[in-house]
């Protein structure tokens, strides 16, 4: 005689049995894969991150207010973190990247420390501040891209007359994921200066390298500062003389001159110029990217499934395009955009994907 219950009854019986089973194994720190399999390996990236824009006109008053509430010394780093709206409380702008806007006022010092997290600075406003890395100071000017390699002593100061603001980009969420973060405070507020300003640029930044080059910071670029003057000139000349890419306009990536790879092992940095009248083609890629608007105005349309966001942007605004969101850039008058992403990690792992759509 067939003892198999009819299908509906099998399901009901099974449902209760499964629930009891899940509870039993849960008490032993186990869980059934078949309940989560689909979410673990989604058909395409399913980032929780949202596109977001931070208008500088709205952010700046809060930054200046923070300058009245706390000194750089007390804060150690006086920064307003740009948090992805979908990752509040996690100090993250994407799942792998941290971004913040740091303020230093005339006469202030942000004390010396070091950590295994790599940092980039992109100068947004003001002159006269410096950052010191491994015994060498670099004066900051708007548009300069500056590096703090992993585990190097660094402190900042402001000898000028005006507030200075820069974008910090760090690989904090990545190192947190790997549980590989270490940090140490310096024994003095400002580290001793042991080399003349510009030494790293002269040694490594003239398309030449010292004859017995020995990478001072492992995989990280030996150049501390990539001045905007040079970058800007290159982009403007290329705009006049070379073909314009239909997706990116004129886009260059910063390099470690000794390897041709990204300036830091965890973060790639880019600068691009959209010519006047540029209406870019849409693209999507797995590396989520953070943008800092350097000059000019434009807009970006970001889409995912049925959702569409359009951000009008101007100088010093910041925005994030998360992984696998389709993006499209436009500029009526022309503009210059700095950006950074976790591209080198995708590349190292062989998981980077990009689609250029039309
Ligand atoms: C840090 O050291 C700096 O050196 C900026 O300016 C932001 C965010 C988290 C941890 C360390 C800096 C930081 C940071």
Residues 226-272 have pLDDT tens digits of: 999 999 999 999 999 999 999 999 999 999 999 999 999 999 999 99
Cα(113) to ligand 1 centroid in Å equals: 9
From the list 206, 203, 209, the residue with the least C-alpha distance to 258 is 209
Q: What is the pLDDT of residues 191-239, one digit of tens each?
A: 999 999 999 999 999 999 999 999 999 999 999 999 999 999 999 999 9
Percent with pLDDT over 90 in the chain? 96
Best probe residue, ligand 1, of 99, 110, 119 (max atoms within 8 Å of C-beta): 119
Joined tokens for residue 141: 């000017």
DSSP 151: T
So what's the pLDDT on residue 22? 98
Q: Check: CB of residue 130 under 8 Å from CB of residue 144.
A: no
Best probe residue, ligand 1, of 133, 154, 168 (max atoms within 8 Å of C-beta): 168
Q: Check: CB of residue 319 under 8 Å from CB of residue 300.
A: yes
CATH topology of domain 52-356: Jelly Rolls (2.60.120)
Cα(77) to ligand 1 centroid in Å equals: 6
Burial class (CB in 10 A: 0-12, 13-18, 19+), 284: buried
Q: Check: CB of residue 352 under 8 Å from CB of residue 181.
A: no
Please determine, for residue 2, whether its predicted confidence score (pLDDT) is greater than 70: no
In DSSP terms, 350 is beta-bridged to none
Domain with CATH 2.60.120.10 in the chain: 52-356
What are the backbone angles phi and psi of residue 268, rounded to the nearest 5°? -100, 150
pLDDT band of residue 312 (cuts 50, 70, 90) is very high
**Helix and strand counts by DSSP (H, E) for the chain:** 8, 23
């Amino acid at each position: 005689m067939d003892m198999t219950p009819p299908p509906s009854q099998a399901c009901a019986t099974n449902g209760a049995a499964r629930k009891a089973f899940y509870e039993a194994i849960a008490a032993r720190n186990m869980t059934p894969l078949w309940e989560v399999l689909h979410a673990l390996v989604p058909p395409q990236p399913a980032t929780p991150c949202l596109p977001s824009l931070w208008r500088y006109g709205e952010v700046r008053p809060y930054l200046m207010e923070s300058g009245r509430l706390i000194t750089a010394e007390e804060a150690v780093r006086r920064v307003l973190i740009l948090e992805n709206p979908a990752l509040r409380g996690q100090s993250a702008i994407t799942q792998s990247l941290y971004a913040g806007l740091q303020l230093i006022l005339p006469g202030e010092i942000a004390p010396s420390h070091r950590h295994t997290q790599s940092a980039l600075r992109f100068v947004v406003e003001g002159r006269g501040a410096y950052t010191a890395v491994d015994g060498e100071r670099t004066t900051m000017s708007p548009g300069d891209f500056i590096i703090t390699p992993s585990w190097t002593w660094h402190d900042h100061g402001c000898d000028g007359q005006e507030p200075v603001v820069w974008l910090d980009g760090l690989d904090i969420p990545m190192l947190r994921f790997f549980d590989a973060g270490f940090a140490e405070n310096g024994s003095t507020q400002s580290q001793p200066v042991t080399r003349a300003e510009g030494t790293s640029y002269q040694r490594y930044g003239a398309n030449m390298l010292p004859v017995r080059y020995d990478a001072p910071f492992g995989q990280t670029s030996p150049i501390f500062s990539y001045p905007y003057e040079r970058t800007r000139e290159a982009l403007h000349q290329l705009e006049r003389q070379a073909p314009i890419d239909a997706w990116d306009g004129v886009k260059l990536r910063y390099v470690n001159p000794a390897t041709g790879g990204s300036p830091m092992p965890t973060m790639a940095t880019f600068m691009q110029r959209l010519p006047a009248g540029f209406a870019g083609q849409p693209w999507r890629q797995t590396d989520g990217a953070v943008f800092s608007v350097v000059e000019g105005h434009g807009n970006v349309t970001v889409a995912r499934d049925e959702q569409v966001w359009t951000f009008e942007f101007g100088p010093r605004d910041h925005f994030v395009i998360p992984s696998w969101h389709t993006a499209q850039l436009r500029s009526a008058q022309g503009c210059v955009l700095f950006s950074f992403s976790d591209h080198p990690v995708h590349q190292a792992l062989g998981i980077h994907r990009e689609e250029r759509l039309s």
